[in-house]
A = this chain, B = another copy of it.
């Protein structure tokens, strides 16, 4: 089975997820600059989620690049990842309208944690198919960034009930770390 339709379907779903979030950014009822002010937590949540989903698309792009054929396990691990990504818009809307409230801040962290776990499972499914000596297996070997992110999300979920600002700061920090493109795979490929 070729990977082209898997990529096309994933691109479609991710494109829709990243775009329907903007539907939460409703036009204000008034027409003054002051009417825009209450939008900033919604806008900040939108930017953060946009960056996260773009990071997932970028890394998905890199990871699939190392794949030549897909099997049923990879198809389902991929759908599983898309499922968790699809919850981000709802969590983003809730956070945006209840910024720094403990529960929405924690729930947002959960919707970041779950696709991170699903991404690791997809990685494992691909390595399972390719074998432990594959390019991807080498690339993720010493994957510090991938291992620390779930820890940071979990910390954010816990902090949400004490210091929600710390949670938001952690979510932003992890996004910034990931914004640096994933050179691991690129490096291992070029070494191969």
Residues of B within 8 A of A31 (CB): 94, 98, 101-104
**For A26, what are the chain B residues with a Cβ–Cβ distance below 8 Å?**
90, 93
Contact segment of A7-15, A114-122, A145-153? A7-15
Number of interface residues of A (CB under 8 A): 62
Q: Say which one of A79-87, A126-134, A168-176 lies at the interface with B.
A: A79-87
Say yes or no: B9 contacts A57, CB within 8 Å: yes
A-side binding surface: helix, strand, loop or mixed?
Answer: helix
A75 touches B98 (CB 8 A): no
A residues lining the B interface (CB < 8 Å) = 1, 5-9, 11-20, 22-23, 25-28, 31-33, 35-36, 47, 50, 54, 57-58, 61-62, 65, 71-73, 75-76, 79, 82-83, 86-87, 89-91, 93-94, 97-98, 101-104, 107, 179, 181-183, 186
Complex-state Cα separation, A116 to B74, whole angstroms:
24
| Cα–Cα distance between A107 and B43 once the two chains are bound (Å) | 14
Chain B residues, Cβ within 8 Å of A65: 1
- Note all chain B residues with C-beta closer than 8 A to A182: 72
Q: Are B103 and A18 in contact (CB under 8 A)?
A: no
Contact A75 B13 (CB under 8 A): no
Cβ of A126 to closest chain B Cβ, rounded Å: 16
In the bound complex, residues from chain B placing their C-beta under 8 Å from that of A91 are 27
A12 partner residues in chain B, CB cutoff 8 A:
11-12, 14-16
Q: Which residue of B lies closest to A97 (CB)?
A: B27
